[in-house]
């Protein structure tokens, strides 16, 4: 049971994850698969930098308890850190963010059916749900010149988080 994850507004974290580019979604996919990642962390983050500075996002996730440091090396005023998800509670939070994003207004059971269709080889049902997901969740903002693969990476993140349970 997650006792503190939803005690304050997580909307900013959720929006940053959902709106992140494919590189960040790749890193989240690795984290959710149980791997650690190396990223720069700056103890002096500025919220205005969150949408433009990768170090600011990782710093926010670390400082707010959504990541933990396994090792760190000073690099000027920043640190090169090996980061990991700290516990199952936070792992579940990341999974719920991905699930909320992909299920949209259809809810948790629809998302679980989507994954079940995939794992049980119900190709037609999976295909219909994937088409629905693409038309209802994919936005023109997801396919910009610099983030053409962000939706695909988000989908892979959904498979990793949903199938890992």
Q: What is the pLDDT of residues 17-61, one digit of tens each?
A: 877 777 888 888 889 888 999 999 988 877 776 766 777 889 989
User: What Rg, from alpha-carbon coordinates, does the chain have?
Assistant: 16
What is the DSSP secondary structure assignment for residue 66, as one 8-state letter?
S
pTM: 0.72
- How many alpha carbons fall within 13 Å on the CB side of residue 13? 23
Q: How many Å apart are CA 105 and CA 81, to the nearest integer?
A: 37
Who has greater pLDDT, 127 or 102?
127
């Amino acid at each position: 049971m997650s006792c503190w994850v939803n005690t304050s507004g997580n909307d900013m974290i959720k929006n940053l994850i959902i709106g992140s580019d494919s590189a960040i979604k790749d890193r989240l996919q690795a984290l959710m698969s149980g791997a650690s990642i190396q990223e720069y962390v700056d103890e002096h983050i500025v919220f205005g930098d969150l949408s433009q500075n990768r170090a600011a996002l990782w710093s926010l996730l670390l400082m707010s308890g959504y990541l933990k440091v396994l090792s760190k090396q000073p690099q000027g005023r920043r640190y090169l850190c090996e980061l990991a998800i700290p516990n199952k509670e936070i792992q579940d939070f990341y999974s719920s963010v991905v699930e909320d994003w992909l299920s949209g207004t259809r809810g948790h059971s629809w998302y679980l059916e989507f994954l079940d269709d995939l794992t049980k080889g119900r190709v037609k049902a999976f295909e219909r749900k994937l088409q629905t997901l693409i038309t209802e969740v994919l936005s023109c903002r997801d396919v910009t010149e610099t983030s053409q693969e962000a939706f695909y990476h988000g989908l892979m993140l959904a498979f990793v988080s949903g199938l890992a349970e």
